[in-house]
Amino acid sequence: MSGQGNGRPTLEEVAALAGVGRGTVSRAINGSPGVSGQARDAVARAVAELGYVPNQAARALAGSRTDAVALVIPETEARLFAEPYFLDLIRGVSAELARADKQLLLTLVRTEQERQRFEQYLAARRVDGVLLASVHGDDPLPDRIRELGLPVVMNGRRSEAEPVAYVDSDNIGAGRAAVAHLVGRGRGTIATIGGPPDMYVARARLGGYFAGLAEGGLTPDPALVATGDFTEEGGRLAMRELLARCPALDAVFAASDVMAAGALGALREAGRRVPEDVALVGVDDSAVARLMDPPLTSVRQPIEEMGRTMTRLLLEKIAEVSAAGSAASEEPRRILATELIVRDSS
């Protein structure tokens, strides 16, 4: 037995002998769900053959687990409860944690002072891992959590080269599908209301918009691009700006349903009918989309499933730390498919 220079077998050697991944070994050793009987038997045989025993540091860490996970949302209470996205995400996270018999700590981090206080809370090992949502490009918190040695998984990502584990939806595909639909409806002057440019999700949806224009044979026009902040008022203001710049526009792709609701209000103020004069498409396929008049065509992203998936990934990382004393070096990444849901607004 080679071990790591001390003759003791390692978790990686158990995985190699069993013919499974390190995460599977961790879950099997900790009795976590999601491991097939065949894989569990293979791990048991490998453990017995090698004489593998988790090291004392890992055992101590496992013994001090809090069975609590923090979900961090850097938004105000008003935004949290007004935005269906966050409520669906919380529903998915809490359902998966309940299955694993873990507690959910919901934390809003809105200021630098609150971020520092939360970091102190994490340093005291009050939770076993952290889920992050709505992260902006310059947010240092994901890296700081990793430096503290805590497992972390993000909802979305800060950039294309995100080093931290994340679960995202196909945001580029969302923009492309929306524009392709509008082109197919015969619209030729298609505007967009994007989200904050410091958020990767906004940049990706804008990139999908431009890709959709190119594929539809349309020339991009800077006058047809406005920026909102994923709020209804932001969508309203951006729509007014677009109408002032380009009164002849005949379609709008809004990067969220909530901004589309604001855009609809501004279009009505200007005497524009939806969809007769201006077709409108959003993203999320939230309750907002279904309750609008007319009901909103929207690109559905599986928000609740994203919450479930990121929670499962985090629980796997927590199990790895318990078994081996540290998480695996490879950070998991998942991108879930989106789907265009056509309604009367287009």
Q: Residues 47-98: pLDDT tens digits?
A: 878 777 655 444 444 445 788 999 999 888 887 888 889 999 999 999 999 9
Residue 219, pLDDT score: 96
Q: Residues 149-162: pLDDT tens digits?
A: 899 999 999 999 89
Q: Are 281 and 260 in contact (CB under 8 A)?
A: yes
CA distance 324 to 320: 6
**Is the same domain home to 40 and 97?**
no
**Is the same domain home to 187 and 151?**
no
**2-11, 56-65, 277-286, 333-342: least confident range:** 56-65
Any idea what the CATH number is for the domain that residue 25 is in?
A: 1.10.260.40
Rounded average pLDDT over 251-256:
98
CA distance 287 to 125: 37
Task: Note down the domain range covering 126.
Answer: 66-168+304-336
The percent of residues in the chain predicted with pLDDT above 90, rounded, is 62
Rounded average pLDDT over 318-323:
80
- Residue with token string 């999320």: 284
Residue 13, pLDDT score: 86
**Is the same domain home to 236 and 316?**
no
The percent of residues in the chain predicted with pLDDT above 70, rounded, is 91
CA distance 78 to 94: 20
Q: Is 107 exposed, middle or buried (0-12, 13-18, 19+ CB in 10 A)?
A: middle
Residue 49, pLDDT score: 80
Q: Are 128 and 67 in contact (CB under 8 A)?
A: yes
**Is the same domain home to 190 and 295?**
yes
CA distance 119 to 65: 18
**Is the same domain home to 97 and 185?**
no
Q: In Å, how far are 114, 147, 200 from 143, measured between CA atoms?
A: 16, 6, 17
If one counts the domains in the chain, the total is 3
Residue 262, pLDDT score: 98
**Is the same domain home to 288 and 144?**
no
**122-126, 208-212, 263-267, 288-292: least confident range:** 122-126
Q: Residues 17-38: pLDDT tens digits?
A: 999 988 788 777 766 667 788 8
Q: Are 175 and 207 in contact (CB under 8 A)?
A: yes
Looking at the domain assignment, is residue 3 inside a domain? Answer: no
Any idea what the CATH number is for the domain that residue 208 is in?
A: 3.40.50.2300
Question: Confidence class of residue 112 from pLDDT cuts 50, 70 and 90?
Answer: confident
3-state secondary structure of 292: coil
